[in-house]
A and B are shown apart, each in its own frame.
Chain A
């Protein structure tokens, strides 16, 4: 049985659709939940955590409906995106309290273990009120895993961490997955998700536009045509040459620069200098256009629409 099942889940707030008809079932191990800000990642995690209810469809957490019975919280760990902790408690007291409330057998020992796992053993007895963002982030993670849950929902757990801490937490999340737990980790950074999640769900504007093995999604994103802006002294001449050589699919002119669309960017990059030299054109500048995540998602979204979604 899958630990988290979304079946035709939609969530809307007034006229705004946060999630539209999402269906998935998580397999054990780590799954990435990828999407830009506002794509519906947090809403999806909130629904999984039982903090809000779907407007349509159903969410089953460990086989149960959390709104009918909170019993499943014993086996569920949640690190939400809000920077919320009781400032007057120490890290140890915070994690032990959460473990106790969720029925851990030895909450103090569980807290000690979890804080050591996230690398906070040395500051465990300090009040979290004085903690840095990265430390708070790790306390939130520790309380999510202290009671050894089967399902973990982690909302952007790497936010605010420095590179060394990121590496450490990525390893920890991978270990949780290897232990057979089901882990859903949200992020807006693809390469981050790539490192820890063999599978990924991609949300764009509330729609699930892609899901599957992370490398396949990576390829899908890499294969999309890219726009490149070129500046050269004889741009028109160069454009003719590029089209003639079959290196680009289209050419247009914008603000005195030439924008070409290429299916195979690597090949374009390899052959462009030689082509320019042969044509006697001086190439001044070459830069990608819209290579940000936003346009990657937009591409996936359009592609998803194209296949009849």
Chain B
């Protein structure tokens, strides 16, 4: 494998096109609007501190549920659809390094997820905080969500190379591990992507549900996991028998 794997523009654009076409994207876009709807409801009721509400929204809904789910579905589909349809054969029969193919596909999945992060995170932020919205209050949650999204996309893409139903496995991980086990067994947080995303987010918002990890360490871990998952997915593409 070449050490430097530049991205391939045609592969990136192809994956982007695939992810944006079809009903799935519309469904995910609707899901991305849920936090904004919640924020609108709160703004109308106005019962708690906006900053506390915003902190809870980011750490309990946006990062661990909405972004996690969107990123897993998109990351898994970016690779899984190519495998399922058999079109991965056209990508495989090219002189491109497998790492380039995989990294470009994951980059496209991340781009689409980031596109949905705007309505999923910034929109409810502006609604919830109103006039109090300032840079760090929005920027750190956005950074946490973006990095968690990258990590989810890469891991889901790897899952799509390894198992038949990557979305099911990914959603089970989000619900059972991150959403249940990690909430009462604190050390399980160490294997939770969302927890590291929250660790970054709380640099800017009140800590309501974040692990003790520093933001710097969390960023390093998220990037490292995404890199390893991409690498593994590429290795898997080289070894797996294609349909």
Contact = CB atoms under 8 A, between A and B. Distances in A.
B94 A70 contact: yes
B22 to A, nearest CB: 8
Interface residues of A, number: 29
A98 B92 contact: no
A236 interface: no
B10 A74 contact: no
Nearest to A70: B95
A20 interface: no
A85 interface: yes
B10 A97 contact: yes
A82 B10 contact: no
Interface residues of B, number: 24
B25 to A, nearest CB: 12
Contacts of A83: 86
Interface string B80-105: 00000111011111111110000000
> Taking each of B14, B85, B90, which has the highest tally of chain A beta carbons within 10 Å of its own beta carbon?
B90
Contacts of B18: 86, 88
Nearest to A84: B86
B95 A51 contact: no
A67 interface: yes
Contacts of B242: 46, 51-52
Nearest to B85: A84
A280 interface: no
Given A71-B95, A101-B96, A86 B89 contact: no
A84 B87 contact: yes
Interface string A27-61: 00000000000000000001001111100000000
A88 B13 CA distance: 13
A217 interface: no
A294 B197 CA distance: 61
Given A51-B89, A88-B17, A103 B95 contact: yes
Contacts of A73: 93-95
A82 B95 contact: no
Interface of A: 46, 49-53, 67, 70-74, 76, 78, 80, 82-86, 88-89, 97-98, 100-103, 143
Interface of B: 8, 10-11, 14, 17-18, 21, 85-87, 89-98, 238, 241-243
7 contacts: A49-B93, A74-B95, A86-B14, A88-B18, A98-B94, A100-B10, A101-B8
